[in-house]
Amino acid sequence: MLRFLNTAAHGASTLVRIIGQLSAWLGLALVMVVSFNVLGRYLAGIGSVALQETEWHLMAAGALLGMSYGLNQGGEVRVDIFYEKMSVRVQAFVDVVSTLLLLVVALVIAWLSIDYVQNSYSINEGSPDPGGLGYRYLLKAVLPVAFILLGLQAFAMFAHALTNLIRPVSPPSS
């Protein structure tokens, strides 16, 4: 059972890592769009509402898709004042509970955001600004995808923590 759980966790973690690495390219796209907008505005006196909206679309998608990747890479903020003084088994128990809670919250948010996307799609929502981007439901569709990815990463961390709880590994001695 643990072998299957760890195999599934590894697959989930790998998927999150691949999608995170691909979505990192949104950062380059964002820099290029912002640079074009600034240079166009100040050097040529041109601007576009659609390009300005593209900036926050890229930023939103990058941030949403990046949260699971950040967790995957250990980039989360932790307060280890108490945690580091706990035994390996208690640490594993804390990790099991916290990752299980994260998994539940991520899946609830993903589930709730589906109606949000469906409503946007049903009215073919676009920008309220003249010259803005259409198809706003495409951006909103990133919400459930991002939280499902966060749930997958939480599952991977849960499986790892559960394995450590069942079969604790001693910390390396210094």
Residue with tokens 């994260």: 102
Q: At what angle do helices 49-72 and 25-39 cross, to 10 degrees?
A: 150
Residue with tokens 């990463």: 153
φ, ψ of residue 172 in degrees (nearest 5): -65, 140
Q: What pLDDT is attached to residue 99?
A: 94
Query: Contact, 49 vs 127, CB < 8 A?
Result: yes
In the predicted structure, residue 158 carries a pLDDT above the cut 70: yes
Q: What pLDDT is attached to residue 73?
A: 87
Nearest residue to 65 via CA among 12, 15, 23: 23
User: What distance in Å separates the CA atoms of residue 112 and residue 121, rounded to the nearest whole number?
Assistant: 15
User: What distance in Å separates the CA atoms of residue 120 and residue 138, rounded to the nearest whole number?
Assistant: 9
User: What distance in Å separates the CA atoms of residue 44 and residue 41, rounded to the nearest whole number?
Assistant: 6
Q: What pLDDT is attached to residue 87?
A: 87
Question: 47 falls in which pLDDT band (50, 70, 90)?
Answer: confident
Q: What pLDDT is attached to residue 116?
A: 94
pTM: 0.85
Higher-pLDDT residue of 13, 83: 13
Residue 134 burial (C-beta neighbours within 10 Å; 0-12, 13-18, 19+): exposed
Sign (positive or negative) of CA dihedral 149, 157, 107, 11: positive
**Residue range 14-35: average pLDDT?**
93
In the predicted structure, residue 174 carries a pLDDT above the cut 60: no
Question: 167 falls in which pLDDT band (50, 70, 90)?
Answer: confident
In the predicted structure, residue 12 carries a pLDDT above the cut 80: yes
Higher-pLDDT residue of 83, 63: 63
Question: 117 falls in which pLDDT band (50, 70, 90)?
Answer: very high
Which whole-number Å values give the CA distances from 141 to 39, 90, 114, 137, 172, in the listed order? 31, 38, 8, 6, 43
In the predicted structure, residue 103 carries a pLDDT above the cut 90: yes
Q: What pLDDT is attached to residue 79?
A: 72
CA atoms within 13 A on the CB side of 107: 11
